[in-house]
Structure 1
Amino acid sequence: MRKWADRLINMREINTLRNQIFVGFTLTMILVLTFAGAFIYREVSVLLRQSAAKHIQQTAIQANGRLDALLKQIDSLTTQVSADSYVQKLLLKEVQGMPSNFNERQSLLQIANNYMAYSSGISSLELYTLDNRRLFPLDDSSINRISGEELAAANDQKGRIAWIGMDSRVPDTVLAIRRINLMDNSYLPGGYLVVHINREYFDMYGPEAKNDPARSREFMLLSDSEGNPIISDIDDEAAQSVLAQAGSTVMIGQERMLAVRQHSDVAGWRLVLLMPVEAATEGISVLRTAIYVSIGIAAFAFLLLTLLLSTMITRPIQRLRRSMRGAKFGGLRLIPAGRNRFRTLEINELNNTYNQMVTHMNELIQVVYEKEITQSRTELKALQAQINPHFLFNTLEAFYWSLEEKEESELARTILAMSGLFRYVIGSAAGNEERVTIRDELEHAQRYLQIMKMRLVDRLNWSIDADERLLQTPIPKLIIQPLVENAILHGVESRIGPGSVTIRVFSARPGIATIAVIDDGLGMDEETLSLLMQSIEGAASQDPKNGAGVAMSNVQRRLRLYYPNTAERAGGLQIDSKAGAGTTVSFEITIPSEGDELS
């Protein structure tokens, strides 16, 4: 037993305000530092990666621009050779069936040397006839030097240069072919110009750039349209692997590389620049170490400050707690003013508040006691007030069942309608619901019409025409029945012979529902209608005989209360009547959007 008591005392000592403040502040600071460090680490990592990707992207764009410039230089040079007058003349003779002699072909050497001097990348130029016979360089070999696929690629370009790619017959050279069209022969094909370009000509960096430390971790791969490497800083197997992969990162062996791809619009070649992911994010490890050290230093400093702050806050409260402990055993007692004079303003205010609490406690107890008595009496009166309506409802229901047993079905339905009518009206008077649905209002009006049908018999015919989509629209309670009562009183009963009352619910405009009560009574002339509108608006005295003006005025006020915008636009109640043509009383309400509840 003593062991459990000692354990309980230790738990109480641990669960002090000082320890709670210390632990709470410490955990909060550790969480803040952890999340801040993780956020900074993530953002800086992304920033470093994006910076490296942007750098390599810019490098790739520049390299691709230089590649296009080199390709265009070759394209321009071959265009000049194709358009050379001597070349055109020589090929025209070949087409016309006059073979070139040795001296004519010898002259092509000087022309080729002159054009090749403009570009250091061209290793050789070859000139072929349409029947694939080589005119230059000078030899009498009849072996076809150009394959059918290469000739087809040149013909497809229709005079533009065709970049074939790596030349399988001549190592370390790139092959390009241009079909020569004869200007003096309606630009018909006359032969082919074959260009062999040194592979190193397309090295974007060069030896000097490779010694640059900023470029030492970047690798370039240039491939032709068939995916064959032309220039590559990596071996052919790795190059093929890179070309087969997609995405912003590729794997070369076990190393992840950032990859930026560019496409040459001139030759259709692909340029890929690679950078190791570790090289792009080499500053992250330093950042991680700095964040760990910063979190450790900040956490240690905050522990010391939290311990000091919690002690300063809780020490005066501990003294005040010891002073107030006697109230638990000896009742509520005032703390003497000169007994605890603490230095902090908050503790002094706490002491004064405690004394005020003790002073006013008895008064509060008395007030609560009186309120409980008053509430009990109010509940008793409310219970008594509910007895009479329930007695009325139960009596009407007893009449209904008694009439049903006697097979007085019509009278029983009237009694049931009267019970529902009273229940609806009394519930409204008690303030149970301020708004109901149009369906509820129409059912109440239907019950009223059934009762009036029993009184007027064949003199009253009625109908309800309502749009099913509008029946769930909220509407103020008891807003339609006064209009129906007014239509029967002043419309049906004022005429000789049968009369009818029609209730219509429809929507003529989006978001607006119109409710109209129509009778075929005697109607009103303009003067009577004007007096009625003044009576409804409260400008004239109400008719004490039938109270219709009071009911209509009440409906008007409620419409302006619940639908200020609609009522202001449509004038609340709208009455359309002509002498001998009946009366139509209508009003508009707004249709709430989906998801709105009855308020």
Structure 2
Amino acid sequence: MRAFIKKYNTLHNQIFLLFSLVSVISISAVTYIGYNKFSSVYNDVVQAQLEQTSVELNSTIDAKYTQVSMIASQVSTDEDIQNAMYQMLGNPEMAGLQKQTFKRTLNSYYPYVDSILDYRFYALDGTGLFPTSQELNLIIDDASIQKALDAEGQLIWVGQDTKSYRYSYAIKVIRLMNHSYENSGFLVLKLANDFFDTRFGDRDNFIQIFDNSGRFLTGQNSSKLLFSDDGEISISGEPFYVVKSVSTRTEWTIYVAQSMVSYNQEIQKIRLFLVGIAMIGVVLGFLLSWIIASYITSPLKRLIEAMRKGPKRQLLHIEETNSSIEMYTLHHTYNQFITDIERLIEEVYEKQLHQQQAELKALQSQINPHFLYNTLNTFYWKLIDDGKDELAEYVLSMSALFKYSVSSSTTATDVVKLHEELDQIEHYLNLMKMRLDERLSWSIQCEPELKDVQIPKLILQPFIENAIIHGIEPKRTKGIININIQSNGPKRLSIIIEDNGKGIPAAMLEKLNKGTDISTGIHHIGIHNIRMRLAIHYSVNVADSLCFSSDEVRGTKVSLVLPKGEIEG
């Protein structure tokens, strides 16, 4: 498993997986939110349609009730009915004489509402007048009778027939219009409840109507009465959405039930459609993620291939791409890096070549140094035997100086301690004093803690030699050389060499400070060689600290700053 991860754990695959994950999460979130939003909107639409249907059904039922109420008003105000009720007012026994009047009059009203099965007339005391003498309180309760009296001619709904739930009664008082609207009796209507029944929508949808007393009046599924507020319910395991409304005219409660089976089927279709769209989106997201990952990583792949296909020990430049600022910067930086490496390789190669050439020249210049040492020692002891001690000391200084100079080509290191370099300068100055005598004097000042600092061998002696040969010797006045070595901060030391000899011309001084190698004869030591040795021995650019200042009257000053730490041999 670890090997598999290591093999495929590439930047391309990481970007692909990241973009794919983001696309899957985004598409899933959008699908989920869209589905919930659509379901909510669809549910609101169904609910609104159902509420609208409830309002329309309520209006229809109110219209039917108004129709019955109008028929009752027309019957109660019919002129023949008014006269008959007036004649029977206080004389119920005359009802038999008025039967033909009631029949003839009612026959003209039956066709208007065929659901009104019977019109019944009663005296104020409840005695039956037509078509039967049955007492009113046997079919109508006293509370409804009182409501009819208080309603002053308005039709009052009584409710279901106690003998059959299929029928209901309504009652109103008959008022005599030509006799100061005096109450003369009651008109009772017997109606078939299915007159108010209605259907809507699919066969699975239904309504139920309950009168103002909460008794079932009409509707479908009477075996499963709906006593529920608005919302979803389950009937025999089937989901329904119920809307409840109350008529302001009749105070009846109407329940409208909408089957949710078809609704759920539509939602399921929408769910499948959204899932299909989401799957297509995921596939497109994967494809787009792969394209984006390839577009981003292709410049990096070209960079890697360029690094892998480069010849051995050779780095290749690559073409800089403009696909993005980041990739352009990466390629440009890589090319600059290759350029810097090539330059450093060339510099190291040149340093090694110069060092090899210097070592070869040193080897070529060795002409049996032991023979020369022995010869000088023979001169020294001969001079001692002859009592020429001063001359013997000069020979000893020359022997030590020669041995110190030649040994740099035969040892494995070209680094000495500062005090060793200063000792050899002292030997050299002693030899030069033999020739210049009183015309040469010098002083060497060095802080004690700096004497063990390592420096390149013979790095100072050329400046002393140039000061004598090109500065002091051409003048006839007394020459002075001052060497001052002191700390320059915690990590550096400063070396200053001054003389009062003949100064350096301005043109030559400018070339020396620029690092140009100038030769003025066989005694001149090239400053360029000193700069090269400093560059070889120190990792930092110490050669730039070498500075010359000169005046043709007051003399020359050479300053150099070196690190105190270890240097390369």
Q: TM-score, normalised by structure 1?
A: 0.51
* The one of 24, 27, 30 aligned to 1:33: 27
Report if the CA contact (8 A) 1:132-1:145 is conserved: no
Inter-partner Cα distance in structure 1 for 2:183 and 2:95: 21
Aligned to 1:91: 85
Do structure 1's residue 258 and structure 2's residue 252 form an aligned pair? Answer: no
Report if the CA contact (8 A) 2:92-2:123 is conserved: no
* The one of 330, 346, 352 aligned to 2:332: 352
**Mean Cα deviation higher: 298-307 or 193-202:** 298-307
Aligned to 1:399: none
Aligned to 1:103: 97
How far is the alpha carbon of 1:13 from its aligned partner?
4.8
Amino acid at match of 1:217: D
Aligned to 1:186: 180
Inter-partner Cα distance in structure 1 for 2:109 and 2:214: 30
Inter-partner Cα distance in structure 2 for 1:129 and 1:98: 7
How far is the alpha carbon of 1:324 from its aligned partner?
7.7
Amino acid at match of 1:176: A
Inter-partner Cα distance in structure 2 for 1:75 and 1:252: 36
Inter-partner Cα distance in structure 2 for 1:291 and 1:140: 70
Amino acid at match of 1:290: F
Aligned to 1:161: 155
SS in 2 for 1:160: coil
Structure 1 runs not aligned, ≥5 long = 1-5, 361-599
SS in 2 for 1:261: strand
Amino acid at match of 1:202: F
How far is the alpha carbon of 1:105 from its aligned partner?
2.9
* The one of 49, 52, 67 aligned to 1:55: 49
* The one of 115, 121, 127 aligned to 2:115: 121
Inter-partner Cα distance in structure 1 for 2:221 and 2:167: 18
| CA offset digits 1:210-257 (Å, max 9, x no partner) | xxxx43231111111112222221133x11xx12x2232233243331
| CA offset digits 1:533-554 (Å, max 9, x no partner) | xxxxxxxxxxxxxxxxxxxxxx
Do structure 1's residue 24 and structure 2's residue 18 form an aligned pair? Answer: yes
SS in 1 for 2:190: strand
Aligned to 1:249: 232
How far is the alpha carbon of 1:65 from its aligned partner?
1.3
Do structure 1's residue 273 and structure 2's residue 256 form an aligned pair? Answer: yes
Inter-partner Cα distance in structure 1 for 2:179 and 2:262: 60
Q: How does 1:115-514 map to 2 (within 5 A)?
A: 115-139=109-133, 144-205=138-199, 214-236=201-223, 238-239=224-225, 242-243=226-227, 245-320=228-303, 339-341=317-319, 345-346=323-324, 347-354=327-334
The CA RMSD measured in Å over matched residues stands at 3.2
Q: TM-score, normalised by structure 2?
A: 0.53
| CA offset digits 1:151-178 (Å, max 9, x no partner) | 1232232321101122213552121100
Inter-partner Cα distance in structure 1 for 2:140 and 2:118: 14
Report if the CA contact (8 A) 2:119-2:190 is conserved: yes
Aligned to 1:46: 40
Report if the CA contact (8 A) 1:122-1:196 is conserved: yes
Inter-partner Cα distance in structure 2 for 1:258 and 1:94: 54
| CA offset digits 1:126-166 (Å, max 9, x no partner) | 00001101111045779844332331232232321101122
SS in 1 for 2:85: helix
SS in 1 for 2:168: strand
How far is the alpha carbon of 1:353 from its aligned partner?
4.1
How far is the alpha carbon of 1:310 from its aligned partner?
1.9
Change (3 A) 1:157 1:357: farther
| CA offset digits 1:567-592 (Å, max 9, x no partner) | xxxxxxxxxxxxxxxxxxxxxxxxxx
**Mean Cα deviation higher: 60-69 or 128-137:** 60-69
Aligned to 1:363: none
SS in 1 for 2:251: coil
Bigger-Rg structure (1/2): 2
| CA offset digits 1:353-376 (Å, max 9, x no partner) | 45568999xxxxxxxxxxxxxxxx
Report if the CA contact (8 A) 2:207-2:255 is conserved: yes
Inter-partner Cα distance in structure 2 for 1:91 and 1:161: 18
Change (3 A) 1:196 1:354: same
Report if the CA contact (8 A) 1:45-1:281 is conserved: no
| CA offset digits 1:169-212 (Å, max 9, x no partner) | 3552121100112334432322110001112211223xxx6xxx
Change (3 A) 1:145 1:344: closer
| CA offset digits 1:300-334 (Å, max 9, x no partner) | 34324433442343132144357789xxxx9xxxx
Inter-partner Cα distance in structure 2 for 1:39 and 1:140: 69
Inter-partner Cα distance in structure 1 for 2:49 and 2:239: 18
How far is the alpha carbon of 1:84 from its aligned partner?
2.0
Identical-pair percentage:
24
SS in 1 for 2:109: helix
Structure 2 runs not aligned, ≥5 long = 341-569
Change (3 A) 1:66 1:31: same
Inter-partner Cα distance in structure 1 for 2:92 and 2:289: 105
Report if the CA contact (8 A) 1:173-1:197 is conserved: yes
Inter-partner Cα distance in structure 2 for 1:125 and 1:101: 15
